Amino acid sequence: MKRKYLLEVIHNLAIGAFVGISAYGIMILFFADEVQNPMPVWKSVLLGLSAFLCMAIIVILGGMIDKNAARKDQVQEKIKSKTDPGEDGS
C-alpha cells in the first residue's frame, strides 16, 4: 500500500512541476516586455530538460499506477467469481 501512495505522490509532483514550467514559459512568451533581460542559455536548457524529465516521469509512473490498479481489479474479480454462485443461480 505504501508503494502505491509514494508513486502517486511522485506522479502528482511531476505533474505540478510540468504545469508550472509550462505556465512560466507561456507567461514569459506573452507577457514579457521588450525591456526584460534575455534568459541565459543554461537556464533555458535546464527548464527544457526539466520539462522533458517531468513528462517521462508522468508517463512511466502513470503506466505503473494503471498496471497496479488493473492487477487489483483482476484479483477482486477472481475473488468475486469464487464467492458468487454465478448469474444463472447455480
Per-domain boundaries in the chain = 2-31+41-80
The Cα–Cα gap between 49 and 54 comes to: 9
**DSSP secondary structure of 18-73:** HHHHHHHHHHHHHH--TTSPPPPHHHHHHHHHHHHHHHHHHHHHHHHHHHHHHHHH
- How high is the mean pLDDT of the chain? 86
If pLDDT is split at 50, 70 and 90, which confidence band does 88 have?
A: low
**pLDDT higher for 3 or 88?**
3
Segment 44-55 mean pLDDT: 94
Share of the chain above pLDDT 70, in %: 88
